[in-house]
Amino acid sequence: KIKMKLVLVTIQVLLLQNCFSQNLNSLFEKINNDVIKQNGIAANLAWESSVNPDNPELPDKAANYQRNRIKWQDNICAKLVALNNDQMLNDTQKRQTYLLCRGPKFTFDEARIMSYLYEQLQSLYTEAEICIETSEVPSKSDLSAVEESILSYLTAVRDKKLFGYNAMNAAKFTIFSEWEKTEAKKNELCLSGEEDMEKMMKFSRNEEVLRWLWMVWREKVGPPMRGPFKKLVDVQNSASRRNGYSDIGAVWRDDTEIPHLRYICRQLYQEVKPLYTMLHGVVRFYLRRQYGEVVPK
C-alpha cells in the first residue's frame, strides 16, 4: 500500500509539472504574439509619421501606444522575473525573459519627455536657418550665385575690421547679427536646414566658403542642442538605473552581449589604425593639392 501511494504521488507530481510546463509554454507563446502585435503598431506609427507627419491624430496615437506598451511590459516582466527567481523557467525561457525585460525601464512621463526631446533635437537640424545680407537674393537652386553671395558677405565682414578675421569669428558674427535682427530684411539669403547646407558643402570648392559653412552650422546647431541633449541623457540614465544599470552607456554595452567589450574595441582600433592613418594621409594629400597650406601635412 505504501509503495502504491508513493507511485500515485509521483504520478501526481509529474502530472502537475507537465501541466505547469504547458501553462508556461502557453504564456510565452502569448507573449511572443503580443510582442509581434506591439511591434506592428510601432511600425505603423513610424510609417504614418514619415508619410503624413502633420496628421493631428498622430501624437495621441503615439501616446496611447507608449502608455499601453509600458504598462504591458512592466506587468509581464514582473511576472517573468518572479517565475525566474522561483527557478521555474528553462534556459530558453530565461533567455526570452532577458531579451524582453533588459534595457531602460521608462515611466510613461519619461517616454513622453523622450519623444519631445528627440523631436526638439531633430527640429534643430531641419529648421535651423542661416541668413546673410546680400545685394541681390539669388535663387537657392543657383549654387554658383549662392557661393558668390557668401563670398561677398565674408568680404564685407572682413572689411568691417571689428575683430581678427577668421572663419570662426565670421560664423559667430553671423549668428550674433541674427540675434540682433528685429525684423526680416528684403535682401537676405537664407540657407534653411541641413539640406541647404549639405548642398552647398557638396558644391563649393572654395576653402573660405566651406570653412564658414561648417563653422556657422556648428555655431547655429551645436549650442542649442546642449540643453535638450543633457535632459535626454538624464532621463535615459534615470530609466537605466531603475532596471539595475549604472547608466545608459551600460545598457548599450549590455545590448552587444560581448564580454570585455572595451578591450575588444581597443584591440580592433589597433588593428585598423594603420589603415586609418594611411587614409588620413591620402585625404590630406589631395586636400593640400586643392587648398594648399591651410591643410596641415
Q: Which of 14-18, 28-32, 106-110, 285-289 has the lowest mean pLDDT?
A: 14-18
Cell numbers describing residue 230: 543633457
Residue type, 20: F
Tell which residue, 161, 154, 164, has the closest CA to residue 204. Answer: 154
Q: Is pLDDT above 90 for 110? A: yes
Cβ count near 96 (within 10 Å): 17
Residue 158: pLDDT over 60:
yes
Which alpha helices (DSSP H) does 52-86 contain, by range? 58-85
Report pLDDT digits (tens) over 137-146: 889 999 999 9
Higher pLDDT, 244 or 173: 244
Mean per-residue pLDDT, 116-124:
91
Determine phi and psi for 132, rounding to 5 degrees.
Answer: -130, 150
**pLDDT tens track for 185-224:** 567 888 988 899 999 999 999 998 998 899 889 888 999 9
Res 15: pLDDT = 45
Q: Is the pLDDT of residue 6 over 70?
A: no
Give the model's pLDDT for residue 179.
Answer: 47
Rounded distance between C-alpha atoms, residue 130 and residue 108, angstroms: 37
Q: Which amino acid is at 105?
A: K
Q: Which residue has the higher pLDDT, 256 or 187?
A: 256
Q: How far is CA 94 from CA 28, 30, 71, 87, 169, in A?
A: 11, 16, 21, 10, 58
pLDDT at 41 over 50: yes
How many whole angstroms separate alpha carbon 153 and alpha carbon 197?
16
For residue 215, what are the contacts with CB-CB under 8 A and spacing of at least 6? 167, 168, 170, 171
End-to-end CA distance of the chain: 95
